[in-house]
C-alpha cells in the first residue's frame, strides 16, 4: 500500500504516513493512539476546570473511568447500527475497532447518560458536571479527529480547493470513492490518487473554535448546563455543514438521510430553544430575588419606623 498523503496546494507532501506502529511485533494503530491522547487531554482539562470552579477534580477522574468505557461502547454500537451491512456477514468484526468505526454522537449520548447516572449516585449537580466535562470533551474531539487522518477515512467529496488532500486509491475503502472522484483521478509516478476535502481537518479546526468560545464564555454563564448547550449548538452547527461533504455518511435505514446531519439539526434547534428558555428563567428568578430582597428591606424599614 502506498503511504503518501499530500496537500498539493499547500506544498505539503508526506511520503510515509503509516497506519500503525509496531512494538515487539505487535501493531498498535495510530488511530487508537490518537484517540487515547485525546481522552487523556480531555480528562486533564475537565479536572482543571473542576479545580477552577472549586469542585472536586477527583469526581471527574472517577467519572472518566466509566464515561470512557461506555462512550466507546456507545460510539461503536451507534456506528454498527447505521453501517450494519458492513458487519452482518462477519459479526466478530464488530469488536475490531482498531480500523476505526466509532461514531461520536453515539459516544456523546452514552457519555451523557453515564454522567447523569454518576451524578445521581454521587449526589452531584449533573448540569454542572456537563458544563465542566464538555470542555474536555470538545478538546478530545479536536485531537481525536486526527485518527481519521492516519486511517485515510472520514474525508469529503472531490475538491481542488486550497486545503485539498490527495490520497492513494489503494489506501482508502473503495466504497468511499465516488464517481466524481474517479473522474478526477491523477496518476503520479504510477500511483493513482484521489483529491478530496479533508473533513477531519475542518472538524478539528471547528472544535478548536468551539473550545475557544467555551473558555471565553464560561465565566459569564447564567445557569448550570448552559456551557454544555452552547457546546451542543456549536458542535452540531459545524457537523451539520461538514457531514454534508463526507462520502461515508451513515444513513437512516429506509429514508437514506444522513443520520448525523438530521441529528445535528435537531440538536442545534433543541439547544437554542433550551438556552433561550433557561436564560429567560434565570432572568425571572433574578428579578424575583430582587423583588423579595426589596420587600424584606421595606418590611425592615416599617418595623424600624413603628419602633
Detail the residues annotated as belonging to a binding site. 145
CB atoms within 10 A of CB 232: 23
Question: Cell 416599617 belongs to which residue?
Answer: 302
CA dihedral 226→229→233→234, nearest 10 degrees, is 60
Residue 159: helix, strand or coil by DSSP? coil
Q: Which residues pair with 5 in a beta bridge?
A: 14
* 36 in Cβ contact with 24 (< 8 Å): no
Residues 6+ away with beta carbon under 8 Å from 201: 145, 149, 163, 165
CB atoms within 10 A of CB 243: 21
End-to-end CA distance of the chain: 93
Amino acid at each position: 500500500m502506498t503511504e503518501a498523503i499530500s496537500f498539493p496546494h499547500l506544498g505539503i507532501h508526506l511520503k510515509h504516513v503509516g497506519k500503525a506502529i509496531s512494538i515487539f511485533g505487535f501493531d498498535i494503530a495510530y488511530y487508537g493512539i490518537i484517540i487515547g491522547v485525546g481522552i487523556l487531554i480531555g480528562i486533564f482539562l475537565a479536572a482543571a476546570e473542576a479545580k477552577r470552579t472549586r469542585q472536586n477534580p477527583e469526581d471527574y477522574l472517577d467519572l472518566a473511568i466509566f464515561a470512557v468505557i461506555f462512550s466507546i461502547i456507545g460510539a461503536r454500537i451507534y456506528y454498527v447500527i447505521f453501517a450494519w451491512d458492513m458487519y452482518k456477514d462477519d459479526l466478530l468484526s464488530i469488536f475490531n475497532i482498531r480500523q476505526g468505526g466509532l461514531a461520536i454522537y453515539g459516544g456523546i449520548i452514552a457519555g451523557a447518560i453515564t454522567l447523569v447516572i454518576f451524578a445521581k449516585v454521587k449526589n452531584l449537580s449533573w448540569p454542572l458536571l456537563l458544563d465542566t466535562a464538555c470542555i474536555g470533551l470538545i478538546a478530545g474531539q479536536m485531537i481525536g479527529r486526527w485518527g481519521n487522518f492516519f486511517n485515510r477515512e472520514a474525508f469529503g467529496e472531490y475538491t481542488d480547493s486550497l486545503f485539498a488532500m490527495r490520497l492513494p486509491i489503494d489506501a482508502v475503502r473503495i466504497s468511499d470513492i465516488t464517481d466524481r472522484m474517479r473522474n478526477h483521478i491523477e496518476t503520479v509516478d504510477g500511483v493513482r490518487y484521489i483529491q478530496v476535502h479533508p473533513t477531519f481537518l475542518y472538524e478539528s479546526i471547528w472544535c478548536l473554535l468551539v473550545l475557544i468560545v467555551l473558555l471565553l464564555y464560561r465565566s459569564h454563564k447564567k445557569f448550570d448546563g448552559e456551557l454544555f448547550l452552547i457546546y451542543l449548538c456549536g458542535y452540531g452547527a459545524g457537523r451539520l455543514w461538514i457531514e454534508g461533504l463526507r462520502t461515508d455518511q451513515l444513513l437512516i435505514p429506509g429514508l437514506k438521510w444522513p443520520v448525523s446531519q438530521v441529528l445535528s439539526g435537531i440538536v442545534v434547534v433543541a439547544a437554542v430553544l433550551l438556552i433561550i428558555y433557561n436564560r429567560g428563567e434565570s432572568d425571572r428568578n433574578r428579578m424575583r430575588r430582587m423583588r423579595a430582597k426589596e420587600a424584606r428591606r421595606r418590611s425592615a424599614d416599617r418595623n424600624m419606623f413603628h419602633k
